[in-house]
Amino acid sequence: MSALLDSLVELIRRTSAEIPDDVNAALVRSLEEERQGTIAASALKIIERNIELAKRKSQPICQDTGSIIFYVDVPVGYDQIAFEEVARAAVTAATRKGYLRQNSVDSITGANDGTNVGPGSPVVHFHQHRSPEVAARLVLKGGGCENVGAQYSLPLEKLHANRDLDGCRRVILDAVLQAQGKGCGPGILGVCLGGDRATGYEFSKQQFLRRLDDRNPDPRLDALEQDILKTANELGIGPMGFGGKTTLLGVKICAANRLPASFFVSVSYMCWAYRRQGVTLGADSAITGWLY
């Protein structure tokens, strides 16, 4: 299994050190839109230099290398137990190499054993498909942006949010307002309308696997995505919450069925340091291609 170990360590390295092209393009556009000489423009220039430095030095873009979340598509009959064991070994090896910070703490004792492996870390979501290919995607999501995520239960009277798309819009924009710069904006929203409390958040995070420049195939959700993006960027929160034109780089929304009694809107916030990459693996578990 050492080829798989090497492939996953390389996936972790590249995810931690390199911003995907679609995100980089959006950041470059946002810098062009900010007024020169403002502190928002200064912040974006530092961000651009940081992206270049991290890639060149093969070091983490952000010191908070985040929750380690794998999404793995596997053929029928693939040994998921073995994959998960190797993924844990790869996380420990990547931590030793400094691609990941010693970032996982025992919630009862506060101890940090320095391996990044423990209950719930890393997270591995498997999905079977009818292709012979294995595709492993990785998201590293920092704590600052995770902390500004929010789950709303509709109706919510204080925001005049009813159980309809307008109510969804109101609570999503409230999440942007409350986040201000604390989630390291300009940010990206992943949203799930409906579902239960757990799947709502889970599906909201899966939206981060979408490319920033894609469009939602559902015209109702597409319209909501475009509206939230435009409105959020009119609020003047700006990069780092310094004030400015770019508050969000993208909005991705999905819907899941709900119970008649429940209507959750789950909002996950991704920081500008949007660490997401993926690989396809051949029969020998070597990397055959990059997905972003």
Partner 1 sequence: MIPLTAPFTEETIRQLKVGDEVAITGVVFTGRDAVHKYLHEGGELPPGVNLRDGLIYHCGPVMMKEPDGSWRCTAAGPTTSIREEPYQAHIIGAFGVRGVIGKGGMGERTLAACREHGCVYLHGVGGAAQVLAECVRKVRNVYFLEKFGSPEAIWELEVENFPAVVTMDSHGGSLHREVYAASQAALSARLETPAGA
Q: Does 118 bind partner 1 (CB under 8 A)?
A: no
Closest separation in Å from C-beta 116 to partner 1 = 11
Sequence-ordered list of residues with C-beta below 8 angstroms from that of 247, at least 6 positions apart, any chain:
176, 185, 186, 187, 232, 233, 235, 236, 237, 238
**What is the pairing mode between strands 187-194 and 150-153?**
unpaired
Alpha carbon distances (Å) from 91 to 11, 96, 160, 164, 195: 10, 9, 45, 42, 31
Are 268 and 204 within 8 A, CB to CB?
yes
Binding mask 174-213 for partner 1 (x = CB under 8 A): x--x--xxx-x-----------------------------
Closest separation in Å from C-beta 146 to partner 1 = 10
**Residue type at 106?**
D
Q: Could you say which of 20, 144, 149, 194 contacts partner 1 (CB under 8 A)?
A: 144
Q: Does 234 bind partner 1 (CB under 8 A)?
A: yes
C-beta of 190 vs 238, nearer to partner 1: 238
Q: Could you say which of 7, 15, 65, 268 contacts partner 1 (CB under 8 A)?
A: 65
Q: Does 139 bind partner 1 (CB under 8 A)?
A: no
Are 117 and 237 within 8 A, CB to CB?
no
Alpha-carbon torsion (121, 127, 133, 136), positive or negative: negative
Q: Does 231 bind partner 1 (CB under 8 A)?
A: yes
Q: Does 75 bind partner 1 (CB under 8 A)?
A: no
**Residue type at 48?**
E
Q: Report the C-alpha gap between 92 and 3 in whole angstroms.
A: 16
φ and ψ of 212, to 5 deg: -60, -30
Residue 232 CB coordination number (10 Å): 23
Closest separation in Å from C-beta 266 to partner 1 = 20
Q: Does 112 bind partner 1 (CB under 8 A)?
A: yes
Q: Could you say which of 273, 277, 279, 292 contacts partner 1 (CB under 8 A)?
A: 273
C-beta of 74 vs 273, nearer to partner 1: 273
User: Which residues of the shown chain bind partner 1 in the complex (CB under 8 A)?
Assistant: 39, 42-43, 46-47, 49-50, 53-54, 57, 59-65, 98, 101-103, 105, 110-112, 114, 142-144, 147, 160, 166, 170, 173-174, 177, 180-182, 184, 231, 234-238, 240-243, 271-273
